């Protein structure tokens, strides 16, 4: 399906309306997975023409993603990644974990950005960051699309490494998301040290339900954005 390539329109708008000189695009991956960290990439691209074929990482084949990510890491002005571990997700919830990972990514940049373009409609960063949220920003904004591709490829590689000692779970193929292989291994073997233990999938596993961690971080004033996938076994 054809798609419009991303542009610098939002970045130009931020520069014009706020005086921002350095604008970072931020995107996450792993929010809906059952295992592994949530990973955020912050990318600064300037206003240069991006590599051909850049778009939302989900629209690109795995092989092309890897090639493009390698190209992007040499093309962007700067980029950094931040992770929030499964233990942190269990402890503080996904919204706060996303903020942890995003702040780690932004603070990992060599220069602090003046403004941030954040993919989605919910600002999970907040003060003191100057944020512009953009729905489907990973398709429309160059810096966010670059962050999307780099984050996806780097987290996929991390999950493949974590899965070496847990081959039955297929992390190299499913990146911690609930594929049939992953579900079957969970039912037979129970969660690995990399699983999120406060999540609802454990409710459908009576033999492992005792491992579930109670949520102590629920706060009705903070919209939760976990986006958990279905967990019927």
Q: Note the helical H segments in 53-206.
A: 62-75, 86-92, 94-107, 137-140, 142-162, 171-174, 180-189
- Quote the CA–CA distance of 116 and 147 in Å, as a whole number: 12
- Quote the CA–CA distance of 52 and 205 in Å, as a whole number: 45
Residue 119, annotated ligand binder? yes
Q: Note the helical H segments in 94-168.
A: 94-107, 137-140, 142-162
Residue 27, annotated ligand binder? yes
- Quote the CA–CA distance of 118 and 138 in Å, as a whole number: 9
Known binding-site residues for a divalent metal cation equal 27-28, 119
Residues annotated within the binding site are 27-28, 119
């Amino acid at each position: 399906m054809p798609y419009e390539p991303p542009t610098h329109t939002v970045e130009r708008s931020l520069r014009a309306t706020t005086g921002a000189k350095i604008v970072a695009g931020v995107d996450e991956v792993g929010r809906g997975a059952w295992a592994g960290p949530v990973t955020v990439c912050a990318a600064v691209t300037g206003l240069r023409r991006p590599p051909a074929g850049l778009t939302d990482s989900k629209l690109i084949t795995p092989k092309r993603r890897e090639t493009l990510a390698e190209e992007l890491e040499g093309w962007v002005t700067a980029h950094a990644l931040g992770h929030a571990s499964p233990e942190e997700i269990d402890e503080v919830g996904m919204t706060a974990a996303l903020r942890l990972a995003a702040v780690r990514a932004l603070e990992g940049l060599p220069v602090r950005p003046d403004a941030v373009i954040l993919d989605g409609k919910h600002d999970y960063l907040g003060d003191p960051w100057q944020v512009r949220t953009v729905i489907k920003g990973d398709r429309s904004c160059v810096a966010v699309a670059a962050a999307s591709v780099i984050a996806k490829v780097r987290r996929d590689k991390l999950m493949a490494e974590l899965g070496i000692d847990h081959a039955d779970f297929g992390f190299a193929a499913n990146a911690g998301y609930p594929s049939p292989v992953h579900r079957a291994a969970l039912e037979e073997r129970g969660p690995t040290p990399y699983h999120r233990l406060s999540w609802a999938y454990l409710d459908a596993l009576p033999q492992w339900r005792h491992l579930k961690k109670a949520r102590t971080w629920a706060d009705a004033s903070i919209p939760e954005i976990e986006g958990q996938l279905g967990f019927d076994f």
